[in-house]
Structure 1
Amino acid sequence: MLGDDESWKAMVCFCETVMSQKEADERLWLTFGASLAFLIIGLVRGYSASSIPSIESLDPDIIQHSEQKSWIGAIPPLGAFLGSMCSGPLMQRAGRKRTLQLTAPLWCASWLILGFAPNFSLILLGRILSGVCVGFALAPVQVYVSECCDPEIRGRLGSLPTLSMSLGILISYVAGNWLSWRYLAFLSALFCVALFFVLLPLPESPVWLKSRGLDDTYAIKWLHLSQHAVATVKEDNEENNGKSEEPKSLFTREVFFSSAVIKPLIVGFALLFFQQFSGIDSVIFFTVEIFQEAGSSLNAMAATIIVGAVQLFSNGVSTVLVDRSGRRPLLLLSAVTMCASMLSMGCAFFFKFEHNSYLGYLPIASLVVFMLGFSLGFGGLPFLLLGELFPTHYRSQLSAMASAVNLLSMFTVIKSYHALERVLTSAGTFWMYSAFCAVAFFFVLFMVPETKGKSLAEIEQQFRGKKNKNDINLQSVQTKF
């Protein structure tokens, strides 16, 4: 009998392991499917670095002066700003998954316009349209993934979209070394087709379904979510009336300035602002110039591939660590590393070290350290926090607004780099970025809460700063893990 008991326990243990693996596989499938959108965002970001030299070489009549090159690189964030303002209402009405599916054909069309463009005007049209699609996808992906994961693994799975974006940048750099700018656009269009079909079998977010009064049973069952993951915070009107009512508009004084909205909004806006004003897109866009200043023997394409590979590696490390160390430690370490590397880069330009000296390679070393530090924390965690910090009823609108701030900041940083360089010099510009990173460190230290292992409802309750009598007892709900 003892042997039989042991056999039975072994069988039960095996079945639980198989079921856990099956559940994990399904959540991974959803995350990878949604992350395809971030991979395409990476293709959009990396396209100009690879395509501009190709256009100048194969179709020199298209680009007449350097200002046109600047606009090819900088206009997608403007389009993305417009798209992000529309994505909030769209994903609130249509859902997270359907918003991404609707974006895929439009994204494909933007790449086809680029691939067949006979002149600069159509290239610009394709780039701004691809940027609009970036805005459509940026917030829904992170919200979708965060709402479809248990708290214990939300950090790891929620970091995969940013890892995919780094992979997209690297794919664009590597493929651009072999393909002409037209064929690079056609290759990117194939990923948009894949995005549409990969999303077809996936369920909608159970949080969104519940907020719209729809049945979320199938989605919860498909995702194998625990009650801990799908618990929600009751509103005051639900407590008083005993029933759910339509939530008030976000843009009323009572709602917008409530602690549940304004506190996470300030945190989200600030993190995405600091992400861009660390100087990241100036570094990515002007990598070639920095390598030239360092007197490196590497050619421009090798330099961009190194940057892309370092960013991908660092995001991979962040993905592994985010649910072990938490969000705050990684953000703090990221801010310190970026601050020090921007400071050293400014020193390199200020003192103008000789190229034949070891110190002549200080800009390259600073750039690599900066990319490591950025990707470890500020590269992906602000996007992860978009899906964690905002209250359920207003998550769509607030995430879209935060994405708009991020994209407008990105455009400002890219377009202002050379102007700042003329006014502050290169050294002064990098020291300014270093100062922003220092401010970011103290902001995280005093303002950003730790969300590791907490359900979305627990995070929302923390910002409310009080316990409601009829709230679900979040601490007593057991997880699946």
Structure 2
Amino acid sequence: GAKVDDDDDGDARPVRVTASASRAHTDQAARRRGTMAGERAPLLKKGSASTSNAKLYLATFSAVLGNFSFGYSLVYPSPVIPYLQVEDNPNLRMDTPHIAWFGSVFSLGAAMGGLGAMLLNDKIGRKMSIMISAVPSTVGSLLLGAAQTRWMLYLGRILTGIASGMTAASIPVYVSEISSPSVRGVLGSCPQVTAVFGSLTLYALGLLLPWRWLAVAGELPALLMLVLLCFMPKSPRYLISKGRQEEALKALEWLRGRDADFISELQKIERSISSQGHISWSDLAKPCYYKPILISVTMRFFQQMTGITPILVYLEPIFHRTKVTLEPRYDAALVGAVRLLSVMIAASLMDRAGRKRLLFTSGFLMFLACQALTIYTHTTPCPSINITHSQLHTPFSILQSHGVQQSPPFDPITVIPLLSTMVIIF
């Protein structure tokens, strides 16, 4: 074939096209078509994507160590109060008002930490908020372990409370946002399970360690969390919300593995963020907003009004008051084990039995347990003085150290408060 070409003088003349040139032109067009088809084709063939969750589990473990510290710090006064009642140092010895402050200031710190985390989560990210919580946690534990006055104990409790409030507000969000949809439900229960396991660990270590070393041991999870999170990625959703798509892509690739279809997940997150609307204060007057908020807040309020937090904090003094035959420190460890078991059972039954059925069942069991404990305490002879102010109920181990032997006879009725407390915690 030939085509017409214009020369410099404007005259048209035919140009002969050789066979080799024609073949080269055909090959070039085929390559262009192949390239365009390749651009339209998906990066991963259907069924070829393979997600690996090993690094995701590592990142989750690194984060929920903060919840472990939360559960550990929350119940710290339970085994410590009996020792502080007979402390030789008058600047540390506690009576009823001091013990009340020692247990309650933690909640004040947790409230401050939670409010601060709400601001930090969007400003510096979930991961950095969790890492910052290690600072007040470590400093607070140091103050508790090295305390020479009651004010050092109070300040240590406030700082550990601040750290716990920050972790409670940041870790569930971080774990949810880094989890893949297939394991998000399972990993979503890890913060609660880990917090309960932290409380159980404190009760167990209370059988072995003095109260100062209990505080020192509480530093280790926070420090380990800080070190591990240095190597973990930030939340992909947070990175995308800040316009850092390249970092989000690398984070998803690290969390899911190179063979996973993380690009599609990135696009889903982008669409989810772009579809989100902004809610004004006037929108809260709409039933679709205020009804779920009102239900959630009311349920949480009544849950706390059951006294679950004071029970956990003052568990050993409660058992001293009820005169359980078994040593109170062992009772506390048993209750901690039951609490861990209950959380694991609830996590496994939540999707099968439904949330509402579990709520009704737990509420009815708590009513029966509180009723039994109330009847027991009002029908069993007990001293009129406050147990936290009296040294008549000093733990068996401390009495032994002072040369006093105690071996009360077994009374089956004393099992009632132990079983009732187990049911309440359950």
TM-score by length of 1: 0.64
Any residues of structure 2 matched to 1:62-461 within 5 Å, and which?
A: 62-215=92-245, 216-224=248-256, 227=265, 230-231=268-269, 248=278, 252-258=280-286, 261-292=289-320, 294-352=322-380, 358-372=412-426
Query: Given that residues 79 and 316 in structure 2 are in contact (C-alpha distance below 8 angstroms), is that contact kept between their aligned partners in structure 1?
Result: no
- Structure number with higher relative contact order (C-alpha < 8 Å, ≥ 6 residues apart): 1
Residue identity in the other structure for 2:68:
L
Deviation at 1:177, TM superposition (A): 2.3
Note if 1:40 corresponds to 2:72. Answer: no
**Are residues 66 and 304 of structure 1, via their aligned partners in 2, closer, same or farther at CA, if it must alter by over 3 Å?**
same
* Greater fraction of residues in helix: 1
Any gaps of 5 or more consecutive residues in structure 1? 1-14, 373-481
Which deviates more, 160-169 or 147-156? 147-156
Listed one character per residue, the Cα deviations across residues 102-144 of structure 1 (whole Å, up to 9, x for unaligned) are 1112311111122222111111111111111111111111111
User: What is the DSSP-based 3-state SS (H/G/I as helix, E as strand, rest coil) of the residue aligned with 2:324?
Assistant: coil
Runs of 4+ in structure 1 over 6 Å off: 232-235, 353-357
**Are residues 64 and 229 of structure 1, via their aligned partners in 2, closer, same or farther at CA, if it must alter by over 3 Å?**
farther
Q: Matched residues in 2 for 1:195 and 1:182: separation?
A: 22
Listed one character per residue, the Cα deviations across residues 336-360 of structure 1 (whole Å, up to 9, x for unaligned) are 3223322332333345499987455
User: What is the DSSP-based 3-state SS (H/G/I as helix, E as strand, rest coil) of the residue aligned with 2:218?
Assistant: helix
Q: Matched residues in 1 for 2:147 and 2:298: separation?
A: 38
Listed one character per residue, the Cα deviations across residues 61-105 of structure 1 (whole Å, up to 9, x for unaligned) are 112422111111111001111111111011111111110011112
Which deviates more, 127-136 or 205-214? 205-214
Q: Matched residues in 2 for 1:305 and 1:178: separation?
A: 12
Residue identity in the other structure for 1:366:
S
The corresponding residue for 1:388 is: none
**Are residues 267 and 139 of structure 1, via their aligned partners in 2, closer, same or farther at CA, if it must alter by over 3 Å?**
farther
Q: Alignment RMSD, CA only? A: 3.1
Query: Given that residues 114 and 165 in structure 2 are in contact (C-alpha distance below 8 angstroms), is that contact kept between their aligned partners in structure 1?
Result: yes
Q: Matched residues in 2 for 1:219 and 1:259: separation?
A: 38
Any gaps of 5 or more consecutive residues in structure 2? 1-47, 257-261, 383-408
The corresponding residue for 2:10 is: none
Listed one character per residue, the Cα deviations across residues 131-162 of structure 1 (whole Å, up to 9, x for unaligned) are 11111111111111122223443232111111
Residue identity in the other structure for 1:371:
I
**Are residues 60 and 297 of structure 1, via their aligned partners in 2, closer, same or farther at CA, if it must alter by over 3 Å?**
farther
Pairs aligned (count): 346
Between Structure 1 and Structure 2, whose CA radius of gyration is higher? 2
Q: Matched residues in 2 for 1:352 and 1:233: separation?
A: 64
